[in-house]
Chain A
Amino acid sequence: AQSVTQLDSQVPVFEEAPVELRCNYSSSVSVYLFWYVQYPNQGLQLLLKYLSGSTLVKGINGFEAEFNKSQTSFHLRKPSVHISDTAEYFCAVSPSNTGGFKTIFGAGTRLFVKA
């Protein structure tokens, strides 16, 4: 079974400042890792994903995430945020080769960018 913990429920940050949204996971099988973004009153949109290979993955809107196997973490970062990045962000884990297709989502981190 897999589980996902997003360590911060809310992250306020000033515009143009860097931000890190933290995600830890646990799993007994190998997994794929994802970050999704949800803007107000919309569905979730895939931001980036880690499948294999380089541990640093880049996504849309200038976001990137680093997979750390020893720490079982997949933290999301952006060097300079914009007001438009205000949204809720979800970390998710899915088994890579067994155990069905269900994806487990974290509880979400609400990023609030202030002017």
Chain B
Amino acid sequence: DVKVTQSSRYLVKRTGEKVFLECVQDMDHENMFWYRQDPGLGLRLIYFSYDVKMKEKGDIPEGYSVSREKKERFSLILESASTNQTSMYLCASTPRDRGYGYTFGSGTRLTVV
């Protein structure tokens, strides 16, 4: 069964810590995405990547960075975690076929205290 795996389901970090959220897909998809989901705000795109070592800012990139050194792995980095980054983080991937749709991971619920 094809899937997107996020390394942690729940994570608690302290303010100011550097936080790494990992996402791995086994479908050989070219495109990968990081979203955050907050009640009432829906899904907001943080960063995305069309290819290895390539990244583009989404709608809310401030306070985040990403890394894509290998095709299957897309990491989201919170440089200095803050309480307003407490959220559900969702990783997704899709191939170049625009009609395929996204495959999502199960999400990481991050709490910054």
A interface residue numbers (CB < 8 A to B): 32, 34, 36, 41-46, 49, 51, 90, 92, 94-97, 101-103, 105-108
A–B pairs, 21, beta carbons within 8 Å: A32-B98, A41-B107, A41-B109, A42-B106, A42-B107, A43-B4, A43-B105, A43-B107, A44-B43, A44-B92, A45-B104, A46-B101, A49-B99, A90-B42, A101-B31, A101-B50, A101-B96, A101-B98, A102-B58, A103-B102, A105-B43
Q: From B31, B96, B104, B105, name the one whose CB has the most chain A CB atoms within 10 angstroms.
A: B104
How far is B102's CA from A46's CA once the two chains are assembled, in angstroms? 7
Residue numbers in A under 8 Å from B107 (CB-CB): 41-43
How far is B58's CA from A49's CA once the two chains are assembled, in angstroms? 24
Contact of B45 among A44, A102, A107 (CB under 8 A): A102
How far is B11's CA from A5's CA once the two chains are assembled, in angstroms? 32
B interface residue numbers (CB < 8 A to A): 4, 31, 40-43, 45, 48, 50, 58, 90, 92, 94, 96, 98-99, 101-107, 109
Is A96 in contact with B40, judged by CB distance below 8 angstroms? Answer: no
How far is B99's CA from A34's CA once the two chains are assembled, in angstroms? 9
Contact of A49 among B40, B90, B101 (CB under 8 A): B101
- B108 to A, closest residue via Cβ: A43
Residue numbers in A under 8 Å from B101 (CB-CB): 34, 46, 49
Residue numbers in A under 8 Å from B40 (CB-CB): 107
Residue numbers in A under 8 Å from B103 (CB-CB): 46
A33 smallest CB distance to B (angstroms)? 10
16 new A-B pairs (CB below 8 Å) besides A36-B104, A43-B104? A32-B98, A36-B102, A43-B90, A43-B105, A51-B99, A90-B42, A90-B43, A92-B102, A95-B98, A101-B50, A101-B98, A102-B45, A102-B48, A102-B58, A103-B102, A106-B42
Residue numbers in B under 8 Å from A92 (CB-CB): 102
Is A101 in contact with B42, judged by CB distance below 8 angstroms? Answer: no
Q: Which 5 A-B pairs have the closest CB atoms?
A: A43-B104, A107-B42, A51-B99, A44-B104, A105-B43
